[in-house]
Amino acid sequence: MFFSHPRRITLPRPAGSARRWATPAAITARGVRVTDIRRETDDAVTLTLATEDGRPLPFRAGQYLTHCFNIDGAEVRRAYSLSVAEGEPPACTVKLLPGGLVSQYVVTRLKIGARYRVLGPSGDFVLTPGERGPLVMLAAGSGITPIISLIETALRADPQRRVRLLYINRDPARTLFDARLRAAQARYPRFEWTPWYTASAGRPDAARLAELLQPEIDAQIYLCGPQPLMDAATAGLRAAGVAAARIRRERFIPAPRHQQRPTAPVEIRFLRSGRTIVQRPGESILEAGLRAGLALPFSCTVGGCGHCRVRIRDGEVCLDEPNCLSADERAAGWTLACSACALTPLTVDA
Amino acid sequence: MTTLDRMLQGLPRKAQNTIYSSFDTLRMMGSVGNLKVAASMAPSAFRGLVLGTAREGDAVQMPGHHAAHYTLTYGDEFPEMYDLYRRAVANQWNGDRDLDWSIDVDPENPETAVMPLDYPPFEGLEAKGIRLNAKEKLRFANDVAAWTLSQFMHGEQGALYAAAQVTESVQWLDGKFYGATQVMDEGRHLEVFLRYLDTKLQKVYTINDNLFVILDDLLTDGRWDVKFLGMQIMVEGLALGAFGTMYNFTREPLLKQLLKYVIQDEARHVHYGVLALREHISKALSPAEVREREDWAYEVALLMRNRFLSHEIYYEWFEGRLSLKDWDEIILNARSMSAFRHLMFMRLIPNLEYIGLMSERIKAHYAKAGLTSFLGGKNATQLSAEDLLRDISDYKAPPAVH
Ligand code: FES
Ligand SMILES: [Fe+2]
Ligand SMILES: [Fe+2]
């Protein structure tokens, strides 16, 4: 008289309809709240952030976050470096740029408690794990933001490490993190800070830079500042016999200007997966690919890191400028999926 | 000790459970006092409880026995319904655009718990000798949340078909307009619950047998007003109680917003049901027919109160460690259950009263079940969606009874 049924408790849904709703984990920006705003100089602030979900946002010294602000109804994205040591609550420093819409907004309008989203952290301008040798740093202006994070992190891990910084500014009033640098000097006997002010001493040329930096034979060199300065420093160091592999540079890419994007759908063929996807009006190649579930690599989404680099086999794209692609890369047919969109039917090697 | 208890003693636990649940099926049918009601429900109960139709296969065919009412003259205005229709059109939301699906649901973060740990009946379980460690408690609470939301989703699927059927059968043109918006609403509810389960909780439970019985019964009953009563008053009332309970205790922001939208829609659905049925019951039914509807509503109300005991969770977690009977007792006394019952009947009883299914005769039965305290409360026509949400948030569940 008793029936017994196979008992099904949960429903198997292997990738069922979840697929179409899946947002690739990494492009999902995380919600953050501004918990503190610290005025560093007249024209720079540091924003301390807490994640909305309360979970940590692990980053490495020297990395940056892509900040997605909503300014007057439009989403704008900017990369700003983390300026605190590893393990501290994430904080990024933003310097007002002449005519910079977003930095203007951050420095003058953003309030404690504001909520927005961030992507990342991204960037390879980081310490090499296990490496114990001396560090030689060159920073100019707001190029100090990733550098201070590297310096503090390295010294906390090894207070005896030899670390030297050449920090170039127009004048002393522009110096960011003055107090933190002094504190490091007081605390770590082997940390050396050489300030340089262009208003009085002029711009150092390649040879002068090499002389000032004078890296030890086993030193790792980190450069962060305007492109011409880094080019000059690299040239000077190379001329002095420093191997290119020991020099790391963080390119500071000014905010890209958005190109006019096509208003009609365009087909993109991704060679590796063999899939053809329709790029919707306004979408980047990356957005179209991710929407269709392709596993495309990316990190900053604003043309700064090069992780989304793809090679074009056929067709034409428009690419937001400036970005991190070199002239050689361009000549070889590379583009940035995050900052480019197809203008004609496109075939990419991705 | 009852005869059943004595019979069960000394038997292996598995055999005990088989006997208990079979008797339970019989008891459920037996508890339906009205024979006619029992007879009308029997096929669904047989399919659902005895055959376990919902436990295998990919789909169940449910033959409908209703007629579509095709209007030839486009008369029959019902201004209040037309009003409701306009409101429904204006308040459509978009389940993709209006919810922040990028919110990451972390099952381990108590700050944003889908189901906070003070809700599952841990004390009840402990009283029966089952102790869960901190990790297990968290996992258990998440499973209970997934089970509950799965049942919401299954209910929404039923609501979608019932709304479509009712839209066919209803005689007022303005009711058909309105019904079309409800079909859209229920489709969207189904979509958002499925999406939430699939992408956030990543666990979907099968439909509960008793819920299946009620839905199967409604969808196959040919009488449009029974469908209407069942769906728009009873199941919607159940849904409001259950959604309200979840809305009250969840700390997960995406789910909270999702439920808020759904509750606002459901409030309209009940309002529509109440308008249509009051008109129909007072004008078109004979006293005998009214009596039968009254009995039917009463039986379904009790079923809804006593039968949603998450047996799926029992089988997943405690089969072999606890008897099904003890489990039922724990669940019936759980804090979340009393919150659910309160919120459900607070709305249901005044609505039944308003549509004319609360004669002195049936009141005596409700009194025996301890449900008359809700008489005289506000019915759906007197409540805005905001009132409803406020009443829900104001309700604080009493501590668990043991
Ligand atoms: S993702 Fe960083 S450049 Fe495209
Ligand atoms: Fe619904
Ligand atoms: Fe509904």
- What spatial distance separates the first Cα and last Cα of chain B, rounded to whole Å? 19
Rounded Cα distance, A197 and A174, in Å: 10
Same domain, A112 and A172: no
Is the CB of B50 inside 8 Å of chain A's CB atoms?
yes
pLDDT for B18 = 60
Domain boundary among A72, A93, A122: A122
Average pLDDT value over all residues in chain A:
88
- Interface A-B: count of C-beta contacts within 8 A: 69
Number of domains present in the structure of chain A: 3
* Residue A93 belongs to a domain: yes
Q: What is the pLDDT of residues A56-93, one digit of tens each?
A: 787 889 999 999 998 888 888 899 999 999 889 999 99
**For the CA of B152, the nearest ligand:** 2
What is the nearest CA distance from B314 to chain A, expressed in angstroms? Answer: 10
Domain of A117, in residue numbers: 29-122
Q: From residue A160, how far is each of A157, A163, A195 by CA, in Å? A: 9, 9, 22
Helix (H) / strand (E) containing B136: helix B134-169
**ipTM score for this prediction:** 0.77
What is the nearest CA distance from B50 to chain A, expressed in angstroms? Answer: 7
Full DSSP string of B285-343: --HHHHHHHHHHHHHHHHHHHHS---HHHHHHHTBTTB-HHHHHHHHHT-HHHHHHHHH
Is the CB of B102 inside 8 Å of chain A's CB atoms?
yes
* Residue A6 belongs to a domain: no
Contact (CB, 8 A) for B230 and B153 = no
Which CATH number belongs to the domain containing residue A111 in this structure?
Answer: 2.40.30.10
Distance B339 CA to ligand 2 centre (A): 20
Provide the pLDDT confidence category of residue A1 given band limits of 50, 70 and 90. Answer: very low
Same domain, A147 and A206: yes
- Considering only CB atoms, which chain A residues are within 8 Å of B109? 53-55
Q: What is the pLDDT of residues A169-178, one digit of tens each?
A: 999 998 999 9
- Considering only CB atoms, which chain A residues are within 8 Å of B203? 10
Is the CB of A53 inside 8 Å of chain B's CB atoms?
yes
B-facing residues of A in 230-259 (CB < 8 A) are none
For residue B197, the chain A residue with the least C-alpha distance is: A18
Q: What is the pLDDT of residues B261-311, one digit of tens each?
A: 999 999 899 899 999 999 999 998 999 999 999 998 998 888 887 777 888
Please list the helix, strand and coil fractions of chain B in percent, rounded to the nearest 5, in that order.
70, 0, 30
Same domain, A79 and A185: no
Residues 6+ apart with CB under 8 A from A89: A35, A48, A49, A50
Contact (CB, 8 A) for B396 and B368 = no
* Residue A239 belongs to a domain: yes
Same domain, A97 and A142: no
* Residue A300 belongs to a domain: yes
SS3 of residue A138 by DSSP: strand
Strand order in the sheet with A275-279: A275-279, A266-270, A346-349, A309-314, A334-336
Distance A335 CA to ligand 1 centre (A): 10
SS3 of residue B252 by DSSP: coil
pLDDT for B44 = 73
Rounded Cα distance, A140 and B295, in Å: 83
The neighbourhood of ligand 3, an ion, using CB within 5 A, equals B 159, 266, 269
Same domain, A154 and A239: yes
Ligand 1 pocket list (CB less than 6 A): A 298-301, 303-308, 336, 338-339
Same domain, A115 and A145: no
- Considering only CB atoms, which chain B residues are within 8 Å of A10? 203-206, 312, 316
* Residue A128 belongs to a domain: no
Please list the helix, strand and coil fractions of chain A in percent, rounded to the nearest 5, in that order.
25, 30, 45
Least confident of A196-200, A281-285, B373-377: B373-377
SS3 of residue B122 by DSSP: helix
Same domain, A75 and A163: no
Asked if A13 lies within 8 A of B204 by C-beta distance, the reply is yes
* Residue A24 belongs to a domain: no
Mean pLDDT of A194-218: 94
- State the Cα angle at A187 between A184 and A192, rounded to 5°: 55
Same domain, A174 and A80: no
pTM of the predicted model as reported, rounded to 2 decimal places: 0.59
* Residue A16 belongs to a domain: no
Residue B225: both structure tokens together: 């007003």
| Test mutation, A17, A19, A20, A53, chain B, max B CBs within 10 A | A53
Mean pLDDT of A233-251: 92
- The residue extents of the domains of chain B are 44-56+100-394
> Which atom number of ligand 1 is nearest to the Cα of residue A337?
4
Is the CB of B315 inside 8 Å of chain A's CB atoms?
yes
Distance B300 CA to ligand 2 centre (A): 18
B44-56+100-394, superfamily in CATH?
Ferritin, core subunit, four-helix bundle (1.20.1260.10)
Mean pLDDT of B338-348: 85
